[in-house]
Structure 1
Amino acid sequence: MSYQKHAQQQYSRKRKRKTYTVYPYHKPRRIRPMLAETGTKEDLKRKDYWAQRKLDGTRTIIIKDGDRVEMRGRTWVNDYAPRFPEIVEEIRKLPVDSCVLDSELTFFKKGTDQDVFITALANPETKKGYVAKAMVFDVLYVEDYDLRDLPLEDRLDILKELIPEELKHVDLVRTVKRGKKAYFERISRKGGEGVIIKERKSPYREGERTEEWLKVKNWRSDEAVIVGYTVGKGARSKTFGSLILAQKDKDGKWRYVGKASGFTEEQMKQLLQKMRRLKTDKPPVKNAEKVDNVKAWVKPEIVVEIKYYERSKNGMFRFPDFLRIRTDKKPEECRLSE
């Protein structure tokens, strides 16, 4: 296979420097995925960048060791493999004994290409009417070969050999080399999230956030921590109105950055259950006087992703809407850009 040809020269060079590593498949070490910086539509003009659709799923590292398969989330706490036997069965069919893949565990409406965010830990009732797929976009290791230093274009060539086209629950994320702007606009018209553009010569920089990968979104989004909720009106009088959000400022203090709504009834019940366990009498934010209509403060432990129109000069979100709970993010990662 081509991974042997692509990797052999680097393998020899690394062996001489004693930096060559073999992945410990039998006792998998934690892998921290490579991350993307935020880009703009202007970045779609970059010549040496290729585009891949940004899917609305759960980032998942797939480890194949013979017939044993693990599917680990970013925090490395959960192994999703037991929940998705259909994906595991197809990973076992790959034409190599062992490999490590980077993917997005994504749910699609049955019979369509429309991705819908559903947590990988969702119960069977929630997943009815959807098809789960491991959408693979990168490869880190194959057998005893460490491929992380290979350029992206070579790693993608290797992936084409690894992932058979006939699989139903494991698929390659399409890579667009030309016409990135038109591709982005087509995704946007369908209500998609956007694209990730990647420098074609870039290595896989494990655990790093770099401009070699840029996310260009159809809307702006960010993560924040819930620090309270407001009084609800009408049908929501017994629950709550909006989420009170905060991010850490440059001094490491929680600062109020806005209120978000836009959740479903099911999401509201889930959020309220979590928040009630974290209620506190002390406001977690240093600018608590700016928050009105407070029903309760909560300890800053729940991370959520929101989409918004823009931010004011003092960092407040304008027209924020709740997207999802982010169990793969830590509260301290929610920082205010100043």
Structure 2
Amino acid sequence: MALPHYAPMLAAPGSPPPPSQDDAWGVEMKWDGVRALAYVEDGAVRLMSRNLKDITIAYPEIQLMAGAVGGHAVVLDGELVAFDDAGRPSFGQLQARMHQRNRARITELVGTVPVTYLIFDLLHVNTASATAMPYVERRELLEATVRPGYRWQVPTWFRGGAQAALESSEQLGLEGVVCKRLASPYRPGRRSADWTKVKNWHAAEVIIGGWQPGAGRRSGAIGSLLLGAHDRQGRLVYVGHVGTGFTATTLRSLRERLAPLEQEASPFTSPVPREFARTARWVEPVLVGEVRYGEWTADHRLRHPSWRGLRADVEPSAVLEPGLRDVS
């Protein structure tokens, strides 16, 4: 019997639980990568992204995990992560793997930009769903079922101590922590405060609606991207521009991706500042990216955004203004 399909459970933004509630919570490090559910059966591993797209071809090194589950058919939840030379998760390096579908190029990248699957949950074993089990029991089952290997691991989790774990994550250069209520079930496809993500910095998903030609060293290339997100009424509104965080390779790749998407009119329903709109090259709003930023301002703008990369695992329709996403 084939394994059933699941959608990943999502965490809600928030603060660490107080020390008085330590006994009710588990804490995991938050890994800066790409979310993926792994379906392991019949000697093969199938990887599905957060937006339910098959991404198996991009990560062949994870196929060896098929022999590490004791012959069981399982559905696992985790994060695909690329590490830098210092051993820290690097979303920038992962970009080379996320969007690649050429088998020959992927084979090369496995050697130069290897990826590790960090597994933090187990949803299904053989014919039985585990989603109704409490988090703490699912973790025990996960650790008893999956044998860690070279390109897949089951990271440590902690009982309580969320604030100390958050401070440690910052010292280690990690994104933050995820606090999970020990008694909580797995809620497929739902965002729940039973999983609370606490970040060391702000990040937002954005939609590229246009770009400005560069000058000086960037003459003939992209100078900045014009960014949008959906407001409460579902309209695509302008939320700012980003001109930092790019490598020369990233700029060339973005120019190639945006060229066939160019259109005459702005896709935004709100005004774009005249100094940007005057020279803008508008594009069909179908590419989603991620930026790091300082704050979300009162006039609905991203302050000091820096580009992190494209997000093929997020649909444009799911991109909301940060102020809306934080209360969802």
Please state which band the TM-score falls in when normalised by the shorter chain: 0.7 to 0.9
Does residue 71 of structure 1 match 2:47?
Answer: yes
Counterpart contact for 1:69–1:92, Cα < 8 Å: no
Work out the number of aligned pairs and report it. 309
Alignment of 1:302 with 2:287, yes or no, is yes
CA-CA distance at 1:326 after TM superposition: 0.7
Secondary structure at the aligned position of 1:131 is classed as coil
Matches within 5 A, 1:195-234: 195-234=177-216
- 2:173 aligned to 169, 177, 191, which one? 191
Q: Structure 2 residue aligned with 1:146, among 125, 129, 138?
A: 129
Cα distance change on mapping 1:254 and 1:121 into 2, 3 Å:
closer
**TM-score normalised by the chain length of structure 2:** 0.88
What residue ranges of structure 1 are gaps of 5+ in the alignment?
Answer: 1-23
The whole-number CA distance in structure 2 between the counterparts of 1:243 and 1:79 is 27
Contact 2:207 2:227 in 1 (8 A): yes
> Counterpart of 2:30?
54
Q: Equivalent residue for 1:242? A: 224
Q: Which residue of 2 aligns with 1:6?
A: none
Query: Paired residue for 2:158?
Result: 176
Q: 2:309 aligns with which of 324, 330, 336?
A: 324
- Relative contact order (C-alpha < 8 Å, sep 6+): which is higher? 2
Name the CA shift for 1:235/1:196 in 2 (closer, same or farther; >3 Å). same
Larger deviation, residues 192-201 vs 282-291: 282-291
Listed one character per residue, the Cα deviations across residues 237-263 of structure 1 (whole Å, up to 9, x for unaligned) are: 201211100111122221111011211
Alignment check: 8 A CA contact 2:25 2:160 kept? no
Alignment RMSD: 2.0
Partner residue of 1:271 out of 244, 251, 254: 254
Q: Which amino acid aligns with 2:50?
A: R
**Under a length normalisation based on structure 1, what TM-score does the superposition of the two structures give?**
0.85
Cα separation, 1, equivalents of 2:246 and 2:110:
18
How far does residue 129 in structure 1 lie from its aligned partner after superposition? 4.1
Asked if 2 retains the 8 angstrom alpha-carbon contact of 1:109 and 1:129, the reply is no
Cα separation, 2, equivalents of 1:214 and 1:248 = 23
**Shift in CA distance, 291/102, structure 1 to aligned 2, threshold 3 Å:** farther
CA contact (8 A) 1:106 1:132 kept: yes
Structure 2 residue runs of 5 or longer lacking an equivalent are: none
Quick one: percent identity of the two aligned structures?
A: 27
